[in-house]
A and B are shown apart, each in its own frame.
Chain A
Amino acid sequence: MTRIQEISIDSDLYPEKLRNIKKPPYKLYTIGNLELLNKPSIAIVGTRHITEYGTRNCKNFAQKITEQGIPIISGMAIGTDSVAHKTALEFGGETIAVLPSGFDNVYPKENEKLFQKIIDKNGLVVTEYPPQVSANSARFLERNRIVSGLSEGVLVIESAFRSGTSVTAKLAYQQGRVVMALPGRLDNSFGVGVNKLIQNGAKLVTDIEDIIELFPQFMNKKWKNNTYLQESFFDVKDEYSEIVSILRGKVLSVEEIVQKTKEKNLRETINLLMNMELEGIVEEKLGEGYTLI
């Protein structure tokens, strides 16, 4: 944790867009790629209790946004935030995680791996709290104002009625950020919040085009077709590269992986997957199969 960089509000590195919000953080603690602070980016927020529908669409949007070369900001909570960060990393994109705690007490604990991964993969982690501070519910909301503050616009995936996510959306309005929402499912309580947001004026988005249209700054060629999206971003051993490319953006069972490989049999694949799991490249999810971390 020696790489922590402290940026105070009067520093040149302090992002201009954050300076303009109500109650800007006095000091930011960061680890990672500082360039990202000043890049236009999009925040993806949503419930921690993400459904299948949410996961699928969150992944899809995160992938498309990443492919446009736009960094994704989120809060590194479980559920929506994790999906957004992970997808961005999987597709070789950049991502910023804003923590509700200091770096000594990474919250939530389950995401310590993800935290490390974001730093390793040229992403950025930010918090306004000194390292020894631990998370509490008030800090979640304080964290959310930075998430929206650092972004150009906030994409809401799923949220329950009157939830933390709705508060983030409200903060985003107040900060003058664009609030976008995915249409929620009518038959699910986590569809209520987003639909309410849409009724109150949030932009309904169904496609990456809808998002690009809202932000003239992303039309700029500079951000399009970015070159980080190269295979070389994943510097994996040759023997793993086939499986890595098969697994990108997908969750597959061992069986499906075997079928997709050129000429690997079941036992070779199992062995490779196990090796990769030990090296922290893939993980197995209950009921779903293998996925890249």
Chain B
Amino acid sequence: MLSIVKSMSLQGLEGILINVEVDISAGMPSWEVVGLPDTSIRESKERVRTAIKNCGIQVLSRKYIINLSPANIKKEGSMLDLAIAVGILRSMDVISSDDDLENTIIVGELSLNGTINKVNGILPICIEALKYGIKRVIVPKENAKEAAIVGELDVVGVSSLTEVIKYLNDEIKIEKEVVDIQKILKNNRLKKVDFIEVKGQETIKRALEISAAGGHNCLMIGSPGSGKTMMARRLPTILPDLTFEESLEITKIHSIAGKLDNNNLITERPFRSPHHTISANGLIGGGKIPKPGEVSLSHYGVLFLDELLEFNKNTLEVLRGPLEDRIVTISRVGASLTYPCNFMLVASMNPCPCGYLGSKEKECTCTQKQKEHYKTKLSGPLLDRFDIHIQVPSVDYKKLESKSGESSENIRTRVNNARNIQLDRYAGTGIYSNSELTPRLIEQYCTLDKESSDILSMSFQKLNLSARAYSKILKVARTIADLDESENIQKIHLLEAIQYRSLDRL
């Protein structure tokens, strides 16, 4: 007898509705899975057969054909196990309810003893399922909370195959999983770190505030122990608040990558700091069927590259496209997928090879030649990526730790304010922050008065600023003006913006 059960597979962030068609007929006993399954799905027949057997149901020797339609798309992952099992049990008449499962998708991985294990990517599956008009999802118990975030679906969390059989045969009722999104959003306001813990370093705080307000990429230069990483870690606490849509999108990506710890909505902007030995694929994403990389995992958050110059040159090179386009398309044999990656790049580096140039604790042992050579490593394209360069002076560590700085809450209020000004101004232009300004928009929104434009042209002559510095200075000046709630860019805004081009001025 033929039975059809619906499930879903993911290609990147896109869900594909899959009909699992099972037919059991007389003939040579065999199990065949067709419809471009990958190894993990082909192996599922063994898991399914054993799981059914261990639930006390006899699996007869028959010819079992399992087709995954549409049959021309490659499918991967163990999430189809449960749907296949349900299909077989329906064909075997073990599940015999009138429930036609027309508007239901079933997702989950089976253990040999019949328990249902959690799978990755539940949130995007549920969001995509809505688009196909699905009303109910049957998911592993552990994933139920994550699925319930979507809200409009009936989420049924199940923990074993026996439970599923009973549920579908109407022998038991399972409560729909519900989560209170407002509560989750509120609960997560408690931050682990805060700028209040940072005393001094006012220049850096100011620079990070500007970065956060305008979404500018920021490069910090300072000796080891000057607090670069410490400050960067606190950056997410002053970033503008996440909207529910942004949260959902971040959670989707983390769900696919299997990086969702508590199967809950992510309500904090991500902060990713990959080690400098990371490969290009690790950074932008990759694999036979591409998985999201660090750039996508830091979507709507911060990508922090500590010791920037230690990164492989090619690795940094691949960042150029994603930084411009805010999406990354990865093409492999298996698929060509696009992930979003709208992140803020923050990096740190030492001022010289030994790291202690200008440090108060330790003496720099570099020669002039080494220092010159080090500077040449800072190539144009690399500097091109940062709107703000800021030098971090070394300070006494004890001083750094004592509590007396301004709280993140205060700073975030100003940042939010400046962001709202930008959102209003750019409404309808398709951009959201000053960092995204195109040359044409810069001309429109970053006008200078006579005095300021004189200063700008003078600074180009005197400080050897490069042409690429021009638009960066104007964008940053625009953000500083927004923080001051000033309609126009004034001289003080411009001068401060020029100050943040340390490396261009060398």
Contacts and interface: CB of A to CB of B under 8 A. Distances in A.
Interface of A: 48-53, 78-79, 188, 190, 251, 253-256, 258, 266-267, 270-271, 273-275, 277-278, 280, 284-289
A287 B203 CA distance: 14
Contact of B352 (A251, A258, A287): A287
A270 B495 CA distance: 8
B358 interface: yes
Nearest to A256: B393
B400 to A, nearest CB: 12
Contact of B492 (A253, A267, A277, A287): A267
A287 B503 CA distance: 10
A271 B496 contact: yes
A49 B367 contact: yes
A184 B365 CA distance: 14
Contacts of A52: 357, 363-365
Contacts of A273: 499
A270 B350 CA distance: 22
Contacts of B455: 278
A267 B498 CA distance: 13
Contacts of A190: 367
B203 A253 contact: yes
A188 B365 CA distance: 9
Given A266-B202, A286-B506, A51 B391 contact: no
A285 B201 CA distance: 18
Contact of B363 (A53, A267, A287, A288): A53
Contacts of B495: 270-271, 274-275
Given A274-B495, A274-B496, A287-B350, 18 more contacts: A48-B368, A49-B367, A51-B365, A51-B367, A52-B365, A251-B358, A267-B496, A270-B495, A271-B495, A277-B463, A278-B455, A278-B459, A284-B391, A286-B221, A286-B357, A287-B357, A288-B357, A289-B358
A280 B221 CA distance: 23
Contacts of B462: 277-278, 280
Contacts of B365: 51-52, 188
8 contacts: A253-B391, A255-B395, A274-B495, A284-B506, A286-B352, A286-B503, A287-B223, A289-B391
B223 A254 contact: no
Contacts of A256: 393
B505 interface: yes
What band does the interface of chain B fall in when counting residues whose beta carbon is under 8 Å from A?
Answer: 35 or more
Contact of A274 (B393, B395, B499): B499
B502 A284 contact: yes
Contact of B505 (A48, A255, A280, A284): A284
Contacts of A278: 455, 458-459, 462-463
A211 B305 CA distance: 50
Nearest to A280: B462
Contacts of B364: 51-52
B389 to A, nearest CB: 10
Contacts of B206: 266-267
Nearest to B506: A286
Nearest to B202: A266
A258 B202 contact: yes
B472 to A, nearest CB: 15
A258 B505 CA distance: 21
Contact of B221 (A48, A49, A275, A287): A287
A287 B358 contact: yes
A160 to B, nearest CB: 10
Given A274-B496, A278-B455, A287-B223, A253 B393 contact: yes
B368 A286 contact: no
Nearest to B494: A274
Contacts of A274: 495-496, 498-499
Nearest to A286: B351
The 4 A-B residue pairs with the shortest CB-CB distance in the complex, in nearest-first order = A287-B351, A253-B393, A288-B358, A287-B357
B458 A286 contact: no
